[in-house]
Amino acid sequence: MENTEKKVMFSGIQPSGDLHLGNYLGAIRNWVALSDEYTCYYCIVDEHSITVRQNPAELRKRSTVQLAQYIACGLDPQKNTLFIQSHVHEHAELGWILNCYTMFGELSRMTQFKDKSAKNAENINGGLFTYPALMAADILLYNAHYVPVGADQKQHVELARDVAVRFNNIYGDTFVVPEPYIPKVGARIMSLSNPSSKMSKSDPAGCVFLMDSPDEISRKFKRAVTDSDTEHCVRYAPDEKPGVANLMGIYSSVTGKTFEEIETEFDGKGYGVFKPAVGDAVIEKLRPIREEAERMINDKEYLKGIYTEGAQRAEYVARKTLRKVTKRIGFVEKPF
């Protein structure tokens, strides 16, 4: 008989700032489509965020604002389990256990540890070094088959696989061994001010945030880098005209038009017409997302209900996994 049970997808989302157009077009929009095919868990990983110093009030605010933005982008809380990491204590408990099954050398090779250490030289703490073990716990708690990641996060999924296999070899079949899920489609959105770099919140001038006003979005696109082509020809040539190619990619993603159709639409019109048109298309694409997110942000009881129910659903699964793990390693069973 064919197994019709859905496979599990897990992703952890760090509340490090407002979401932007690159997040939406490159990842979140694809995640929405996955909820019919997979059982999906999307976690606001606030425990990971404190490896660098946070303003407590800002962290609390960002965690709920980001949840609102994800729902506004189409992640239906009835189809997806949406929750805050620190509300499910099994993450921290399994994270400690997996620390004891993760090798020092493996953690030392983590690229993000090296990068974050360089950026936070005054605060190279133990959590910054061992957080890949917590990330492995995040994934393994839910028996996740797949973890949607970009190339920069693939290393962490590989470590989670290694830890799962090591644990299974010692104690028998305990964890599902996860695989990175890299979607076949997904726009790679670059900075409007520097088209050689990905769009990032660290470059506000080149980054379009989901909560930007229409005026802010319009201004950013009018100032977007194109090229020194005196003809101002709208033509898709990534190597020759990376700025124009990026704008065409954005326009294609929000309108569904092909590059050929875009070239025809703007033939002979120049960048002075093209850039505002891209901005207008993005404004209309993001308008319902921004308006719905703003509505939810002002409805704190609604958001509390979502993350409360999500934590309850997540903990039901996480508790069963942790109970299996603690029994395997020899802990005395909890009396309650």
CB-based contact 286:217 (threshold 8 Å): yes
Cα 129 to Cα 117: distance, rounded to the nearest angstrom: 9
Q: For the chain, what is the largest distance between any 2 Cα atoms, rounded to a whole number of angstroms?
A: 77
Alpha carbon separation from 220 to 33, 65, 215, 238, 251 (Å, rounded): 29, 23, 9, 21, 14
Cα 293 to Cα 323: distance, rounded to the nearest angstrom: 37
Amino acid at 119: K
* 324 part of the active site: no
Q: Work out the angle at residue 53's Cα, subtended by the Cα atoms of residues 51 and 58, and round it to the nearest 5 degrees.
A: 115
Cα 38 to Cα 111: distance, rounded to the nearest angstrom: 30
**Exactly one of 6, 7, 61, 116 is catalytic; which is it?**
116
Alpha helices, DSSP H, located in 172-270: 214-222, 242-255, 259-265
**Exactly one of 61, 154, 184, 198 is catalytic; which is it?**
198
Q: Is 12 exposed, middle or buried (0-12, 13-18, 19+ CB in 10 A)?
A: buried
Q: Which two tokens stand for residue 82?
A: 């949406």
Amino acid at 245: A
Amino acid at 71: I
Cα 185 to Cα 34: distance, rounded to the nearest angstrom: 13
CB-based contact 193:203 (threshold 8 Å): yes
* 116 part of the active site: yes
Cα 189 to Cα 186: distance, rounded to the nearest angstrom: 9
**Exactly one of 79, 201, 222, 257 is catalytic; which is it?**
201
Active site residues: 116, 198, 201
